[in-house]
């Protein structure tokens, strides 16, 4: 798929970050776009941004839903069919994700599954809901966002990171297996898996949107970052989470816009494996070079040295 003009794209997690930038860049190239997100406000802003870059006649629609809920994702697919009066789409970006749920041992099942069910369940539900529409197209491409934590299941030796890592490895495995499945059963549809490094997105700030309370989601995330928050008030937790989220977003070596461009270039080039950022490429090389050392304490030190940190 060398040209996105005249195509139809569906993007989950379109309210901020890479999802918003994918939508903006696709619309600018003449692609109709349907986005979903859990935040009404974020979706409205994304639509506004996209409309500013949209050529005349380009259709943009948004839908509020939680990707971890299969019925809501089916409703999103129905919305796309009805709004665009179509039986097909060309591009599906399963992009939505949150952080948190670090420890399988010390955190609750609900905390752990909240992260896993968005980061993996969202990909599964999105693929189930929209695969028939991809297959109904003359050419299609499904793009699933994993992470460098789908290459290395760790945030370092002092932090539990199991829910997110398990989900992102599931996304990787599913997409790699899907490549052969599609070649056998729908050869006009391609699949790619994306491995972003540190990208300037609001993933930390957005992770509390699907939590029972903002502080509940914040405690889980901050514990994952090795922060002791057990004795802090909800207000203190929320303030720490806000600061951490802003630092993550604003201090990233790769912007969300740059990441979206890399993804779309990868789709054009029919790459099934798309790494984003120098940090992702360095980690990928080290994982391949020293697989037995990945979870030793000094691996992160060597990784930081390789990245010049």
Residue from 4, 76, 112, 164 carrying the catalytic annotation: 164
Give phi and psi for 304, each to the nearest 5.
Answer: -65, -40
164 is catalytic: yes
Give phi and psi for 273, each to the nearest 5.
Answer: -130, 115
Decide if 175 contacts 131 (C-beta within 8 A): no
Catalytic positions, please? 164
């Amino acid at each position: 798929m060398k040209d996105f003009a005249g195509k139809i794209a569906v993007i989950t997690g379109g309210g901020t970050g890479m999802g918003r930038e994918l939508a903006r860049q696709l619309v600018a190239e003449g692609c109709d776009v349907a986005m979903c997100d859990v935040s009404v406000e974020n979706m409205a802003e994304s639509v506004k941004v996209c409309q500013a870059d949209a050529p005349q006649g380009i259709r943009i629609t948004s839908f509020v839903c939680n990707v971890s809920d299969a019925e809501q994702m089916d409703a999103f697919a129905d919305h796309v069919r009805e709004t665009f009066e179509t039986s097909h789409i060309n591009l599906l970006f399963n992009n939505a994700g949150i952080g948190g749920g670090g420890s399988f041992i010390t955190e609750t099942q609900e905390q752990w599954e909240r992260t896993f069910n968005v980061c993996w369940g969202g990909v599964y539900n999105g693929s189930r809901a929209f695969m028939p529409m991809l297959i109904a197209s003359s050419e299609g491409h499904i793009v699933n966002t994993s992470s460098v934590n789908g290459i290395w299941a760790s945030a370092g030796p002092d932090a539990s990171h199991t829910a997110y890592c398990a989900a992102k490895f599931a996304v990787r495995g599913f997409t790699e297996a899907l490549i052969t499945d599609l070649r056998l059963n729908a050869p006009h549809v391609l699949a790619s898996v994306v491995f972003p490094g540190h990208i300037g997105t609001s993933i930390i700030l957005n992770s509390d949107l699907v939590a029972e309370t903002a502080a509940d989601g914040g405690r889980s995330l901050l514990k994952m970052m090795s922060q002791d928050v057990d004795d802090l008030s909800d207000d203190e937790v929320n303030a720490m989470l806000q600061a951490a989220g802003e630092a993550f977003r604003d201090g990233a070596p790769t912007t969300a816009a740059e990441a979206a461009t890399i993804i779309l270039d990868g789709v054009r080039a029919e790459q099934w494996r798309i790494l984003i950022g120098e940090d992702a490429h360095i980690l990928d090389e080290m994982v391949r070079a020293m697989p037995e050392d990945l979870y030793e304490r000094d691996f992160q030190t060597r990784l930081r040295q390789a990245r010049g940190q």
